[in-house]
Copies of this chain bind each other. A is one copy, B any other.
Amino acid sequence: MTAVDPSLLSNPRSDGVRQVAALGRRAARDRQGRFLVEGPQAVRELLRYAAPAAAALYVTDAALARHTDIGRAARDAGLEPRRCTEQVLAAMADAEHPQGVLAVARRVDVPLGEALDAVGTDGFAVVLAQVRDPGNAGTVLRGADAFGASAVLVSDASVDVYNPKVVRSTAGSLFHLPVTVGVPVEELLAACRSRGVRLLAADGSGRTMLPHADFGRPHAWVMGNEAWGLEESVRALCDDVVAIPIQRAESLNLAMAATVCLHASASARA
Binary flags per residue of A251-265, CB closer than 8 Å to B gives 1, else 0:
111011001100100
In the complex, whether A113 has a CB less than 8 A from a CB of chain B is no
Chain A interface residue number, banded: 20 to 34
Q: How far is the CB of A42 from chain B (nearest CB, A)?
A: 12
List, in ascending order, chain B residues with CB within 8 A of A146's CB. 246-248, 251-252, 256
Q: How far is the CB of A139 from chain B (nearest CB, A)?
A: 7
Q: How far is the CB of A221 from chain B (nearest CB, A)?
A: 15
Contact A176–B248 (Cβ < 8 Å)? yes
- Taken together as a complex, chains A and B put the C-alpha atoms of A252 and B262 apart, in Å, by 12
Q: How far is the CB of A175 from chain B (nearest CB, A)?
A: 11
In the complex, whether A244 has a CB less than 8 A from a CB of chain B is yes
- Spell out A's residues near B (CB within 8 Å): 135, 139, 142-143, 145-148, 171, 173, 176, 211, 244-248, 250-253, 255-256, 259-260, 263, 266-267, 270
Contact A251–B171 (Cβ < 8 Å)? yes
Q: Which residue of B lies closest to A173 (CB)?
A: B251
Q: How far is the CB of A269 from chain B (nearest CB, A)?
A: 11
- The residue from B148, B248, B267 contacting A145, defined by CB atoms under 8 A apart: B248
Extra A-B contacts (7), CB below 8 Å, given A147-B247, A211-B267:
A146-B251, A146-B252, A171-B250, A173-B251, A246-B266, A260-B260, A260-B263
The answer to whether A145 and B266 touch (CB under 8 A), given A256-B139, A256-B259, A260-B259, is no
- Taken together as a complex, chains A and B put the C-alpha atoms of A246 and B266 apart, in Å, by 8
Q: Which residue of B lies closest to A266 (CB)?
A: B245
Contact B253–A171 (Cβ < 8 Å)? yes
- Taken together as a complex, chains A and B put the C-alpha atoms of A252 and B252 apart, in Å, by 17
Q: Which residue of B lies closest to A256 (CB)?
A: B259
Q: How far is the CB of A156 from chain B (nearest CB, A)?
A: 26
Task: Pick from A135, A211, A255, A263 the residue with the most CB of B within 10 Å.
Answer: A263
List, in ascending order, chain B residues with CB within 8 A of A250's CB. 171
Can you list the 4 inter-chain pairs with the closest CB atoms, starting with the nearest?
A: A146-B251, A148-B247, A146-B246, A256-B259
Contact A253–B211 (Cβ < 8 Å)? no
Contact B147–A253 (Cβ < 8 Å)? no
List, in ascending order, chain B residues with CB within 8 A of A143's CB. 252, 256
- Taken together as a complex, chains A and B put the C-alpha atoms of A135 and B171 apart, in Å, by 16
The answer to whether A139 and B263 touch (CB under 8 A), given A146-B246, A247-B145, is no
- Taken together as a complex, chains A and B put the C-alpha atoms of A247 and B176 apart, in Å, by 11
List, in ascending order, chain B residues with CB within 8 A of A251's CB. 142, 145-146, 171, 173, 176
Contact B142–A211 (Cβ < 8 Å)? no
